[in-house]
Chains A and B, each alone.
Chain A
Amino acid sequence: MPRLPFWRRGRLDDFADAIHDELTEMPVPPADERLLARVLESRRGGTRVILPTADAARPRRLALYMSAVAAAAVVVMVATRYARRETALLDVARDSWLIGDIAYAQTTPPVRPAFAPAVASRPDRLRPQTLRYERRFVSAAGISTETDLRIELRRDSIAGARAWRVSAVTKTHDGVVDAESVWLDEKDLRPLRRVAEETPYRSYERIRIEQRLDGAHFTGEMRAWKAGALSAHRTFDRQLPSQFGPYISDAVAPLYHMAVPLRAGWSGSLSVLGWAVRDNDVFVSVDMRVDGEETVVVPAGKFACWRLAMHWGRGRRSWYWVRKSDGIGVRTLDSSAVDGGVRELALRGR
């Protein structure tokens, strides 16, 4: 029993009894046939999951103490080193949906766009939906890493105005979670507000970037936590140059061409926003040009697509396939990174 004075124990027990029925009868979602179909599909596809054991022994105290001493020693050894490196590491952005490794990709000053702005002329074509992608990275040494990406497009409002909300979540096999939500003006898909989080991030438990866009005025703040306490905080206040617009967020990229009808010979430029905490991670200007039509086979199926050649950064080039029927991004392929790796994203399903 809890080590509490009897009168407090009694009162809490009464309270526990009082809420017991409400707690146990709190409605829960059903485990339906759709989920069973997903399970069986995963098994058929060769997916295997190593489950935790039902009864893991609690760590022995001696082992715990020794681990703590060892950990403390390691902390002492690396603390000084990290203290020096922390500032440099803090703002490294993660991979972009559209253009692979975005970190430090922006040139200073940015390269001028080659084409006219890729304006979202048909925002009325957007429909609420959920898309799932698989992201594969094959390193120069041939080691393959796969992660899942889920993107949701939902109707929402922000500051009383109608908006679209796009949420993207990536979970890696080693427990890192990237998440982003961005609110777009319903009229022209202009980003209004954005929140991005990564957990864990370097030596931090998590990092959170909040951005606000009011016309060309781009403000926001970065916060990072260690041991549950705020450990790093920065704000920024920038102006986005009009010649590099339209600006999109990474999560929006696979949906953006729903509102930008493509045709043979089409070309356009846009910019992908970075975290914007440091000066060379504000945005990356991307030039896109339809250079062919292909039938693409991805896990979600076989689709007739426009193939776009994309140029960005200092001599970077990648490929992007957009489904003709609705403008959804189906596949990206980037093998131009300096690390020699190949990055590929493919639509897995809805």
Chain B
Amino acid sequence: MATPAEKLSDTDAIADLYRRHAGALMAVAYRLLLSRADAEDVVHDLFVGLPEALHKYEERGSMEHWLRKITVRLALGRLRARREVMLDTVPEPVAITRDPVARVAMERALSALSPSLRAVLVLREIEGFSHAEIATMLGISVAASEVRLHRALRQMRALLSEEG
């Protein structure tokens, strides 16, 4: 029986995996980076490197969880490397599905957090990772992860109170 890596040797297999998982992975990357271009670069790099990386996937646990962890690592690496140069912020072209005022306020508050606080908030509250997993991914202690989440929520509450 073919291993996952062998299955990914042809483009159809990559395309199949992409169509199954890329949407969720794009969401993870975008929420961490708040940039469509950067999120697309992360997903691109992930799927370009996937055939070789699959040799390390031991088929323990769900593949999506494994892919999400790698996506988070790629996004965090990009987050550390980049900085803003624009004087103004260009809104990302995404569809509005809920109350636009609330959406804008939420995005603005999220983007106002420091990258280290935003990462913990996104990973815990949206992606559902445990503090132990977050601590491993960020290279911090579990207690530090908990404290960062507390600070992130406190700042979000203050920012959204100002908006309101």
Q: Which residues of A are in contact with B by a Cβ distance under 8 Å? A: 1-4, 12, 15-16, 19-20, 22-31, 35-36, 38-40, 42-44, 47-59, 167, 169, 171, 175, 177, 179-181, 193, 195-197, 199, 206, 208
Q: Given A39-B44, A40-B15, A175-B81, A28 and B106 touching (CB < 8 A)?
A: no
A31 engages B83 (CB within 8 Å): no
Complex partner residue of A48 from B14, B25, B52, B74, CB under 8 angstroms:
B52
Nearest Cβ in chain B — how far from A21, in angstroms? Answer: 9
Complex CA–CA separation, A40 to B93 (angstroms): 24
Contacts of B136 in A (CB 8 A): 55-58
Q: Shortest Cβ distance from B96 into chain A, in angstroms?
A: 6
Q: With contacts A12-B153, A42-B48 known, is A52 near B103, CB below 8 A?
A: no
Question: Is B157's beta carbon under 8 Å from chain A?
Answer: yes
By beta carbon, the residue of chain B nearest A9 is: B150
Residues of A within 8 A of B52 (CB): 48, 50-51
B69 and A29 within 8 A (CB): no
Q: Look across to chain A and name the residue whose beta carbon is closest to the beta carbon of B141.
A: A58
Which residues of A lie under 8 Å from residue B39 when comparing CB positions?
28-29
What's the minimum C-beta distance from B71 to chain A, rounded to whole angstroms? 10
Question: In chain B, residues 90-119, which have Cβ atoms closer than 8 Å to a Cβ of chain A?
Answer: 92-98, 102-103, 106-107, 110
From residue A219, how far is it (CB to closest CB) to chain B in Å?
A: 16
> Is the CB–CB distance between A25 and B98 below 8 Å?
yes
Q: Are B11 and A40 in contact (CB under 8 A)?
A: yes
State whether the Cβ of B139 lies closer than 8 Å to any Cβ in chain A.
Answer: yes
CA separation between A54 and B70, bound complex, in Å? 5
Q: Is the CB of A36 within 8 A of B18?
A: yes
- Nearest residue in A to B142 (C-beta to C-beta)? A58
Q: B135 contacts the other chain (Cβ, under 8 Å)?
A: yes
* Contact across chains for B146 and A28 when beta carbons are under 8 A apart: no
Bound complex: CA of A52 vs CA of B137, how far in Å?
A: 11
Residues of A within 8 A of B53 (CB): 50-51
Known: A39-B18, A167-B85. A49 touches B49 (CB 8 A): yes
Q: Report B55 CB to chain A, min CB distance, Å.
A: 11
- 14 A-B residue pairings within 8 Å (CB atoms): A2-B149, A12-B150, A12-B154, A25-B98, A27-B97, A27-B103, A29-B30, A35-B40, A40-B11, A51-B49, A51-B70, A177-B82, A181-B85, A199-B81
Is B70 a contact of A2 with CB atoms below 8 Å? no
B26-A29 in contact (CB<8A): yes
Interface on chain B toward A: helix, strand, loop, or mixed SS? helix
In the complex, are the beta carbons of A19 and B44 less than 8 A apart?
A: no
A57 → chain B, closest Cβ, in Å? 7
Complex Cα distance, B53 from A50, in Å, reads 7
Cβ–Cβ < 8 Å partners of B36 in chain A: 29
CB distance from B67 to the nearest CB of A (A): 8
In the complex, the answer to whether A52 meets B74 with C-beta atoms within 8 Å is: yes
Cα distance, A55 to B138, chains bound together (Å): 11
- In the complex, the chain B residue whose C-beta lies closest to that of A156 is B88
Contact pick for A195, options B30, B45, B85, B93, CB 8 Å: B85
Contact B157 A15, beta carbon cutoff 8 Å: yes
Give the distance to chain B from A349, nearest Cβ to Cβ, in Å. Answer: 14
* A22 engages B82 (CB within 8 Å): no
Q: How far is the CA of A252 from the CA of B39 in the complex (A)?
A: 26
Is B14 a contact partner of A52 (Cβ separation < 8 A)? no
A27 touches B96 (CB 8 A): yes
Known: A2-B147, A196-B85. A31 touches B94 (CB 8 A): no
Q: Is the CB of B14 within 8 A of A43?
A: yes
Residues B114-164 near A (CB distance < 8 A): 125-126, 135-137, 139, 143, 146-147, 149-150, 153-154, 156-157, 160
Which chain B positions have C-beta within 8 A of A54?
A: 66, 69-70, 73
The chain B residue with its CB closest to the CB of A12 is: B153
Contact indicator B30/A53 (Cβ below 8 Å) = no
Residues B43-80 near A (CB distance < 8 A): 43-53, 56, 66, 69-70, 73-74, 77
Contact B43 A35 (CB under 8 A): yes
Cα distance, A206 to B82, chains bound together (Å): 10
Residues of A within 8 A of B5 (CB): none
With a cutoff of 8 Å between Cβ atoms, the chain A residues found around residue B45 in the complex are 49, 51
Q: Is the CB of B83 within 8 A of A16?
A: no
Inter-subunit contact B87/A195 (CB<8 Å): yes
The 6 A-B residue pairs whose C-beta atoms are closest, nearest first, are: A49-B49, A31-B22, A54-B69, A179-B85, A31-B26, A52-B73
- Which A residues are CB-close (under 8 A) to B98? 22, 25, 27
Q: Which residues of B contact A47 (CB under 8 A)?
A: 48
Q: Could you say which residues of chain A place their CB within 8 Å of the CB of B96?
A: 27
Complex CA gap A26/B97 in Å reads 8
